[in-house]
Amino acid sequence: MQHARLKEFPKDFLWGASTSAYQVEGAWNTDGKGPSVIDMSNIVEGTTDFKVTSDHYHHYKEDIALLAEMGFKAYRFSIAWTRIFAKGTGEVNEKGIQFYNNLINELIKHNIEPIVTMYHFDLPYALQERGGWSNRETIDAFENYAKALFINFGDRVKYWLTINEQNMMILHGSVIGTLDKSLKNPEKELYKQNHHMMLAQAKAMKLCHAICPNGKIGPAPNISSVYPASSKPEDILAAMNYSSIRNWLYLDMAVYGRYNSIAWSYMEEKGYTPTIEKGDMEVLKNANPDFIAFNYYNTATVAHSENDDLNTVSTGDQQISDGKPGVYKSSSNPYLQKTEFGWEIDPVGFRNTLRELNDRYNLPLLLTENGLGAFDKLEEGDVINDDYRIDYLRKHIEQAKLAITDGVRLIGYCPWSAIDLVSTHQGCSKRYGFVYVNRDEFDLKDLRRIRKNSFYWYKQVISSNGEKL
């Protein structure tokens, strides 16, 4: 739909950006922090330097000052569960509480709204050793952890996100580093883990409303529209299949407390259905998210698949996804360009996704990740010419504005990432930030912070409330 006049971004729009604890903080075993599953997985063979990441733990004041200089209204970060409870449960680590108190207070001092992700891939390793999400005790551990967060930070944190990209942990856990490699029947086990994470999330949402009078809480999956490769009816069915397994399984449960029927029939067909214990569905139904936070990088395109299909085509999806025989197979989209890391770029798909979410759930939406990973180059005079990133972000913000004009209730835009950090599986050289962190893959250098061109551009976007793009 073309609009003669576009609506403005709301006055209190949450302009900001995002990071996650294990990707930015470093200090992975400092001040009583315990190891997480990510700390224990070998992301970069032969070095532990990746664990220093951007050393935000020791640079947080300087980093927040830079975000304030850009005019950030909000900053989305995650709390490392193992900083609060080294082993996932037990005694609270006061030094961990102190770190996040300092961080939150520093943000508030600069009028930046803290948006907290409670769990971003970094499950405590001690819990993993006891079965991780396969063990129902992890649900209780998460509820206990959530309670500690709400009690300690709920007086200042209004926006809470439960679990980052639960759907990607289920679909692509081996790439992210969250998959327990000892699982015998991984897919079946993963859908059991998914059920337990859903319960943990539901309990945390209920608790948030009980403990934090002004608290708002929502899920934070990775959501993207799924396109059929052609108008062939079988391709349309394949797109519905994939969207149900990738998107709606997670959000139908978070919002309506029910299993998506297509996703459920897929699990039945494959023998993956989880055991639902007495009382589970009641817990799931009684959780009411206040908004949906979601990460969007690109769309997916899929085609019909016969049972004997070999699905080897890669998509520009979060990770290489090759399809499921008899359900869908991935296809590339000839209308889209790709980043240098092979991810398809689809700003219009962002508008599609926003519209779909709005129609389906009728809740406020918060964009918590969107961005372009690239090999930025530090040039003489501390210049980083990342015009490709500006172009990417500009096009997505334009589509956000169109979606708002379409009637979507978008309350904020927090792209990935506020400053450079370590990618989930492609090292430090794949950069996303507005601020360059001076380090290489294997050389920590001086970790100096340097403003990229996109830094100055985003500053002007925020000060004009999205008018000057």
Active site residue 277: no
Closer residue to ligand BG6 (CB): 259 or 294: 294
Residues 239-298 that bind ligand BG6 (CB under 6 A): 295
**From the centroid of its chain, how far is CA 124?**
18
Of these residues, 106, 189, 344, 369, which one is catalytic? Answer: 369
Closer residue to ligand BG6 (CB): 128 or 164: 164
What is the four-CA torsion angle of 49, 30, 85, 59, rounded to 10 degrees? Answer: -80
Per-residue binding letters, 110-149, with ligand BG6 (x by CB under 6 A): ----------------------------------------
Task: Catalogue the long-range contacts made by 376-381 (C-beta closer than 8 Å, 24 or more residues apart).
Answer: 376/420, 376/431, 376/436, 376/452, 378/436, 378/438, 378/450
Closer residue to ligand BG6 (CB): 72 or 77: 77
Q: Is 425 in the site for ligand BG6 (CB under 6 A)?
A: yes
CB atoms within 10 A of CB 400: 24
Q: With DSSP H G I counted as helix, E B as strand and the rest as coil, what are the percentages for the chain, rounded to 5?
A: 40, 15, 45
Three-class DSSP labels, 319-370: CCCCCECCCEEEECCCCCEECCCCCEECHHHHHHHHHHHHHHHCCCEEEEEC
- State which amino acid sits at residue 113: E
Of these residues, 165, 189, 344, 356, which one is catalytic? Answer: 165
Interacting span for ligand BG6 (CB under 6 A) from 66-74, 162-170, 239-247, 358-366: 162-170
Closer residue to ligand BG6 (CB): 93 or 299: 299
Cα separation of 207 and 2, whole Å?
43
Interacting span for ligand BG6 (CB under 6 A) from 163-171, 224-232, 258-266, 458-466: 163-171
Q: Is 317 in the site for ligand BG6 (CB under 6 A)?
A: no
Q: Least Å distance between CB 266 and ligand BG6? A: 22
Cα separation of 433 and 17, whole Å?
9
Closer residue to ligand BG6 (CB): 42 or 286: 42
Q: Is 426 in the site for ligand BG6 (CB under 6 A)?
A: yes
Residues 191-250 that bind ligand BG6 (CB under 6 A): 222
Interacting span for ligand BG6 (CB under 6 A) from 354-362, 401-409, 420-428, 453-461: 420-428
CB-side neighbour CA atoms (13 Å) of 165: 23
Question: Among 164, 194, 244, 330, which residue interacts with ligand BG6 (rule: CB under 6 A)?
Answer: 164
Active site residue 62: no
* Angstrom distances, CA of residue 282 to CA of 144, 163, 203, 277, 279: 20, 20, 11, 10, 5
Cα separation of 32 and 52, whole Å?
16
Give the SS3 label for residue 306.
Answer: coil
Question: Among 15, 423, 436, 437, which residue interacts with ligand BG6 (rule: CB under 6 A)?
Answer: 423
Interacting span for ligand BG6 (CB under 6 A) from 124-132, 161-169, 307-315, 359-367: 161-169
Question: Among 16, 20, 327, 402, which residue interacts with ligand BG6 (rule: CB under 6 A)?
Answer: 20
Give the SS3 label for residue 217.
Answer: strand
CB atoms within 10 A of CB 298: 25
Using CB under 6 A as the criterion, which residues of the chain lie in contact with ligand BG6 when the complex forms? 20, 23, 164-165, 168, 222, 295, 318, 369, 373, 416, 423-426, 430
The residues assigned a catalytic role are 165, 369
